[in-house]
Amino acid sequence: MIIARVSKHAAAVVALAAATSLPAAGQTFPTDDPVIRAMWDEGMGAGSQVHGLAQVLLDSIGPRLAGTPGYESALEWALRQYASWDVPARTEQYGTWRGWRRGRTVLELTAPRFRQLEATMLGYSPGTQGRVEGAVEVLPELADSAAYQRWLDGLSGQVVMISPEPITCRPRENWTQLARPETAQRILAMQDSIARAWGRRTQGTGRNFLARLDRSGAAAVLSSTWSAGWGVNKVFDTDNVRLPDVDVSCEDYGLLYRLAANGQGPRVRLEAESETLGERPAHNLIAELRGTELPNEYVVLSAHFDSYDSSAGATDNGTGTLMMMEAMRILKATYPNPRRTILVGHWGAEEMGLIGSGSFAADHPEVSEGLQIGFNQDNGTWRIEAIRMQGFDRAEAQVQRWLDQMPDEIADTVAFTSPIQEGGSDHTSFSCRGAPFVRLQSNYPDYRQYTWHTNRDSFDKISFDDLRNNATLAAMLVYLASEDPERVSRVRSPLPPDAQGRVPERPPCSTPRRSWGQP
């Protein structure tokens, strides 16, 4: 056992641990630490609150795109929730962001036949100011940028398709598993060939083509970013200021493309409602349990609070948000007077470029300087299967000792990795400053294909058994890191050499944008 003493804080929960339920049948504890046992009972038993919290956040409040009323409502809800647990929490403004409110999107095929189409505006898209109807036109293949400009100058009320034709909306694994090998090879080769040809076509449009299209006489823009799974599209945001920018499902986009390519005169009617709200204050939410012995040393839980808004943002990053909220609730109930200060950062505008966490790290250098360790979670719903060390490999043995003190059911799926790609989420805002900040990783391929930034990232995708497990794991990690008499090593292993044998330098910390208008 790494902690040679039972601190005065741990002793305070002995009575609680004795009064709580016994472990599940067959469950063993590798330690007699009363706090670990109390955390197990609090997080894995009937007292878990993750299901109820998820239902309110994801169903009632919904998506949390930066600058929207949904994000602001979620902040207010989280503050009330922390207050109900007697956990001090606050919002911190780090800048401003463009305000926007989504309304309905209705896209209909009106010729050569009628069909209701599955479609939604991209985030921050302008609306139509009523209904618009126009002929559908595919982005043509032209000689050069000048030819494209002449084409743009001739647009008048057309609805322009700017994504390639989808040959199939079946997942690739369907073809490889169920079709004859030669059929699968042909279909997939055709799909890849079309994507490459479209890439060459869009390169030929010239610089700032989408901005030039936005200024044209077109009525709307249609695109489709299929996520290679049944019924799933990625739906991001747009910089358009005039043209409604609409994502269309793979199946319906393919229908429109074929009708247009075969000269069958497709027309669509679009009604897209949105409201621009001007620059809005942008906030992080910080919850804190102040350390009693080492208040200037920090253990940080981290998860971004914002999401894209074509669905509920359940696994990106509702589950990370709920995991850290529940971990803090467990900590308050079982370890209310920590040795080191415990912070939870619910970061804004991660999706816009790590803006909330980057701003906090820049504004609070004392946290990075005093960091014992940070734990970030930003993907999916399944059990934590890896702790990505982000190059802080000398700390692996220390973290493993913490895991060794947990019940097998909590930690038996966890392995360590230190990937070549170390960025991608809010941990980077601190690790770039030399602070040991690691990533708690769930299964990635499933998340990346089906729920990451998609129109299917909804409440029903959550595995609540795993979410309870992950929240309890996080609480135990924080407790053990807080109590550990040893500081976590800040030595970072070099990046692996490139193909030429050169060892690359890690990029410096970026300067976060503090407003939408800032370049």
The domains of the chain, with CATH numbers, are 8-88+290-483 (3.40.630.10), 100-277 (3.50.30.30)
Alpha-carbon distance values, 190 to 11, 181, 224, 293, 376 (Å)? 67, 14, 18, 64, 40
Which ranges of the chain have pLDDT less than 50? Answer: 1-23, 25
User: What token pair was written down for 110?
Assistant: 């009106």
User: How does pLDDT run across 446-491, given as a tens digit for each residue?
Assistant: 999 999 999 999 999 999 999 999 999 999 999 999 999 999 999 9
Alpha-carbon distance 93 to 286, whole Å?
11
pLDDT at 2: 37
Q: Which residue in the block uniquely carries the two structure tokens 């102040």?
A: 290
Residues 6+ apart with CB under 8 A from 102: 65, 68, 121, 123, 273, 274, 309
Q: Which DSSP symbol is given to 68? A: S
Burial 273-292 (b: 16+ CB within 10 A, else e): bbeeeeebebbbbbbbbebe
Residues 6+ apart with CB under 8 A from 252: 109, 115, 117, 118, 119
The angle formed by the CA atoms of residues 491, 495 and 501, to the nearest 5 degrees, is 140
Element (H, E) at 377: strand 371-377
pLDDT at 419: 61
Distance of CA 488 to the CA centre of its chain: 27
pLDDT at 15: 40
Residues 6+ apart with CB under 8 A from 193: none
Q: Is 30 exposed, middle or buried (0-12, 13-18, 19+ CB in 10 A)?
A: middle
Query: Which ranges of 20-165 does DSSP label H, i.e. alpha helix?
Result: 34-44, 50-54, 69-84, 145-153
pLDDT at 102: 97
Count CB-CB contacts under 10 A for residue 176: 13
Phi-psi region of 484 (alpha: psi -120 to 50; beta: other; left: phi over 0): beta
User: What token pair was written down for 408?
Assistant: 């097998």
pLDDT at 420: 59
pLDDT at 26: 54
pLDDT at 12: 43
Under 8 Å between Cβ of 439 and 377: yes
User: How does pLDDT run across 234-276, given as a tens digit for each residue?
Assistant: 999 999 999 999 999 999 999 999 999 999 999 999 999 999 9
Under 8 Å between Cβ of 117 and 105: no
